A and B are shown apart, each in its own frame.
Chain A
Amino acid sequence: MTEPVPAGGGADRSPRPWRAANRAFAGRRRLGVGALLGPPLAWMLVVYVGSLLLLVWSSLYRLDPVTQKPTHEFTWANLRSAFALWDADTRDAIWPFVRTVGVALLVTAICVMIAMPVAFFVAKVAPRWMRRGLIVAMLMPLWAGYLVKGYAWRAMVSPAGGRFAAEGKGDGGFLESVFGWTPGYGRVAIVVALVYLWLPYMILPVYAGLERLPPSLLDAAGDLGARPLRTFREIILPMLLPSVAAGSIFTFSLTLGDYIVPQIVNNGEERFMFGSTINATLGAPNQPLAAAYTLWPLVIIVLYLLAMKRAGAFDNL
């Protein structure tokens, strides 16, 4: 008796260490589940929750005014200057944040308005042979690099240079030279570029939702005398709401965090997005204050998710 025979008898031909492991787990379900879920759970905790906690924590460090490095002294001053809306000296820094939330809502709304008809056409109207090509076309923008798309939009919207331009430099971009009109650099260009960037993230969930919508429901609504608008309002929209909610989480949060493409199509005219403020503060360098600023978008995302829940998108468990 040098070795106890495993439960499976001689049939267990797995290598020795595995046999030992199998024995250790045999009959201990909790241990097994723990070993399976533990590592990914620990990863989630360390990488997601941990880094968020670090962020909050680092906003509590005092900045050494001479070396501009964070010290290990505790202070509320950073959080105060990031959130003190009553203080005339610091409250202006919050305007970019208000604008950013506004742009995020606007971009989301425009994405919904574009995604609905496009996804409906692809899912319900387009013939089968066309559908696959259209899905590829919808995904196509994701194949190009983020910066490439940003600079492409900059080139498209660039305005005519006027009479003081250098030879061959003042013709303006694609929109100006082809249509004779361009929104130019600035706020309109920011919204247009962001809608372009994040539209696929809205179209895909809406398309997936429409795909699962039984066509018989639409036929039934028609047979019962509902006009298209009523069918849309009372059949399609309620069933599509979860998909739109999923898509809006993408478009809203992605817009909220973006600032590089807005800077590219803004040509340095104004510090428009809140990410630019955070980035500039980090580069000041004032790492603790930058960390304090990041709590604003964090709070808004939580509020946004709560609002979605309240609107009923997460109901009917």
Chain B
Amino acid sequence: MRTKRIGAALLASLAIVAAACGDDSESGTTAAPTTEGGSATTAGGGGGDMDYMWTPNADLLAGAEGQVNIVAWAGYIEDGSTDPAYDWTTPFETMTGCQVNVKLGNSSDEMVQLMQSGEYDGVSASGDATQRLIAGGDVVEIDPAEYSSYADIFDGLKLQPWNSVDGKPMGVPHGRGANLLVYNTEAFADGAPDSWGAMFEPGGPADGAISVYDSPIYIADAAVYLMAHNPELGITNPYALDQDQFDAAISLLEQQKAIASQYWALYTDQQAALEDGSVLAGTTWQVIVNLAQGNGAKIDAVKPVEGATGWSDTWMLSSKAANPNCMKMWMDWITSPWANSQVAVWFGEAPSNAKSCELDGMAEHCQVFHAEEDSYWTDVWYWTTATEECLDGRTDVTCVPYTEWVNAWTSLRS
């Protein structure tokens, strides 16, 4: 009899479970909006006579598929819904008829996973993602002739190890930037920090209110700090760590865990914490600083003296792209002078198109972000995938590969 009653009780609740299952499928997607644009409004912002300094490639336009699905960093594809002054998606949709659908990637790892699914046409990939995507055959070589913007890209960004194979380009460079130290200006009223020590050493003004980027690649940030403060470890490249150097970085991160209050994976989490004052120092992107400052957060950001990790991003075309023509046009558009200057200002990074810096009001931005000054970038370590073969050229030791970084990060975060 009892079993019958269990059965009855289970049945009675079955309908509710069905409802719950429906809910669960929703939770698979991120909370952040995944699609933007979609409106075929007339050219936004400046009206019809605005010069966007770009015309679509006629051959590609003839084959336009009507939509494109892109994996991108937050802030790379804006349609004016965050800030009406920043909209470089609507003009593109108007000119090409390609509706832009965005899937935000929160980390390079996530972007690799999304691209492996084959469901997206292209991606804005940082150097640690590009290498895995190229090795996995998930992206294809590009033909520079199809991209009118390619000729104007800074030479220092083209045909680099992370975006080319045997001298052939695997994508269009987007721009570069550094991960910054954000701090609360009132908590640090006695003097702005200029060292990552504000995030690693206990006892500072931000002790217990530190925000850390929740990705294995952050181990390199600890290595950058050790490179400057523990020279006896002999680290020369934060992505080429032998076992001893790696263990030192992990123990520094263990020390940091005691004074950290947040590990952010969603940029909105850090933005909210900067605004409500629960985070007083952290590693950040300029775009988060801009958004939080816009909401009144009392914060500022610096590139510390030790240097920083950073990114050099590349737009890449999926080898399984269902909408290759629209994706190619997007890659050409986003690296064209006007659109590239817009995204560079919004995200807070150096543009990749040399002509972007010649536009009105862009000279200062390009100076602040050192777009044309290669020496500035010598202490910025672009995200790169660590391999067993040491990236700094050492052959007497093996280095800790990225898969081990992932395992170590899982342990650290458990």
Contact partners of B388 in chain A: CB under 8 A: 65
A94 within 8 A of B: yes
**Cβ-based interface call for B214 (8 A):** yes
A71 to chain B, nearest CB (A): 11
- How far is A64 from B136 in the complex, measured between Cα atoms in Å? 9
A212 on the interface (CB 8 Å rule)?
A: yes
Q: Which residues of the partner chain B approach A231 to less than 8 Å between Cβ atoms?
A: none
Interchain CB contact under 8 A, B116 and A165: no
Q: Judge whether B67 is part of the interface by a CB distance below 8 angstroms.
A: no
Give every chain A residue within 8 A of B13 (Cβ-Cβ): 201, 204-205, 246-247, 250
Question: Which residue in chain A gives the minimum CB-CB distance to B25?
Answer: A146
Q: Bound state CA distance, A232 and B137, in angstroms? A: 66
Say yes or no: B6 contacts A317, CB within 8 Å: no
Q: Does B27 contact A (CB under 8 A)?
A: yes
Add 11 more A-B contacts to A92-B412, A93-B414, A166-B295 (CB < 8 A): A66-B387, A92-B414, A96-B414, A147-B31, A164-B184, A166-B297, A167-B296, A205-B12, A242-B6, A250-B13, A268-B262
Q: Which residues of B are found within 8 Å of A164, using beta-carbon distances?
A: 184, 186-187, 277, 280, 298
Contacts of B264 in A (CB 8 A): 268
Whether the pair B276, A161 counts as a contact (CB closer than 8 A) is yes
- Interchain pairs with CB closer than 8 A, number: 184
CB of A93 within 8 A of CB of B411, answer: yes
Closest Cβ–Cβ distance, residue B257 to chain A (whole Å): 9
Known A243-B9, A268-B265; judge A165-B276 contact (CB<8 A). Answer: yes
Given A67-B136, A204-B16: A267 and B414 within 8 A (CB)? no
Nearest 8 Cβ contacts at the A-B interface: A67-B136, A165-B277, A161-B276, A164-B277, A146-B23, A246-B9, A166-B296, A285-B113
Instruction: Report the bound CA distance from A209 to B202 in whole Å.
Output: 56
Per the 8 Å Cβ criterion, residues 1-42 of B in contact with A are 1-3, 5-6, 8-10, 12-13, 16-17, 19-20, 23-24, 26-27, 31
Let me know if B263 and A268 touch, CB within 8 A. Answer: yes
Collect the chain B residues with CB atoms within 8 Å of residue A264's CB.
31
A285–B295 Cα gap in the complex (Å)?
35
User: How far is B24's CA from A261's CA once the two chains are assembled, in angstroms?
Assistant: 11
Chain B hits for A151, CB < 8 A: 31
Task: List chain B residues, Cβ under 8 A from A25.
Answer: none
A242 touches B296 (CB 8 A): no
Contact flag A277-B3 (CB < 8 Å), given A147-B26, A267-B269: no
Using CB atoms and an 8 Å cutoff, list the residues of chain B in contact with chain A.
Answer: 1-3, 5-6, 8-10, 12-13, 16-17, 19-20, 23-24, 26-27, 31, 107, 109-110, 112-113, 116, 132, 135-137, 184, 186-187, 214, 216, 261-266, 269-270, 272-273, 275-278, 280, 292, 295-298, 387-388, 401-403, 406-407, 410-414
Contact partner of B407 (CB less than 8 A), chosen from A81, A145, A209, A249, is A81
A136→B17 CA distance, assembly (Å): 16
Are B275 and A67 in contact, with the CB atoms below 8 A? Answer: no
Q: Which of A94, A166, A241 has the most CB of B within 10 A?
A: A166
Which of A35-43, A103-111, A308-316 is found at the contact surface with chain B? A308-316
From B31, B186, B297, B413, residue with most partner A Cβ within 10 Å? B413
> Which residues on the A side are within 8 Å of B186 (C-beta)?
163-164
CA distance A92 to B410 in the complex (A): 8
Of residues 148 through 193 on chain A, the ones whose CB sits less than 8 Å from some CB of chain B are 151, 158-159, 161-170
**Contacting residues, chain A, for B401 (C-beta < 8 A):** 65
> Number of A interface residues, CB 8 Å?
70
- Quick check: is A291 within 8 A (CB to CB) of the other chain? no
| B132–A161 touching, CB < 8 Å | no
Q: Is the interface of B mostly helix, strand, loop or mixed?
A: helix
Which residues from B are CB-within-8-Å of A314?
2-3, 6
Contacts of A260 in B (CB 8 A): 27
Tell me whether A267 and B17 are in contact in the complex, defined as CB-CB below 8 angstroms, given that A162-B278, A166-B296, A283-B107 are known contacts: no
Q: Across the interface, do B214 and A170 meet the contact criterion of CB distance under 8 Å?
A: no
B214 touches A209 (CB 8 A): no
Residues of B within 8 Å of A81, CB to CB, are 407
**A313→B4 CA distance, assembly (Å):** 11
CB closest chain-B residue, reference A168 = B296
**Residue from A96, A166, A249 in contact with B298 in the complex, judged by beta carbons closer than 8 Å:** A166
Residue A282 interfacial (CB < 8 Å): yes
A68 engages B5 (CB within 8 Å):
no
A242 to B264, CA, bound (A): 43
A252-275 interface mask toward B, CB cutoff 8 Å, 1 = contact, 0 = none? Answer: 001000001100100111110000
Q: Which residues 111-144 in A have Cβ within 8 Å of B in the complex? A: 139, 142
Interchain CB contact under 8 A, A280 and B410: yes
Cα separation A280 to B261 with both chains bound (whole Å): 19
Q: Are B265 and A284 in contact, with the CB atoms below 8 A?
A: no
Instruction: Establish whether residues B411 and A89, one from each chain, have CB atoms under 8 Å apart when the complex forms.
Output: yes
A-B contact pairs, 9 of them (CB 8 A): A146-B20, A146-B23, A165-B275, A205-B9, A268-B270, A284-B406, A313-B2, A315-B3, A316-B2
Residues in A whose Cβ lies below 8 Å from that of B412:
92
Among B16, B184, B265, contact of A200 (Cβ-Cβ < 8 Å):
B16
A286 at the interface (CB under 8 A from B): yes
A161 to B296, CA, bound (A): 13
Instruction: Determine whether A51 belongs to the interface, using a CB cutoff of 8 Å to chain B.
Output: no
> A250 contacts which of B17, B135, B295 (Cβ < 8 Å)?
B17
| Residue A208 is within 8 A (CB to CB) of chain B in the complex | yes
User: Provided the pairs A81-B407, A271-B414, A277-B410 are in contact, do residues A166 and B275 lie with their beta carbons within 8 angstroms?
Assistant: yes
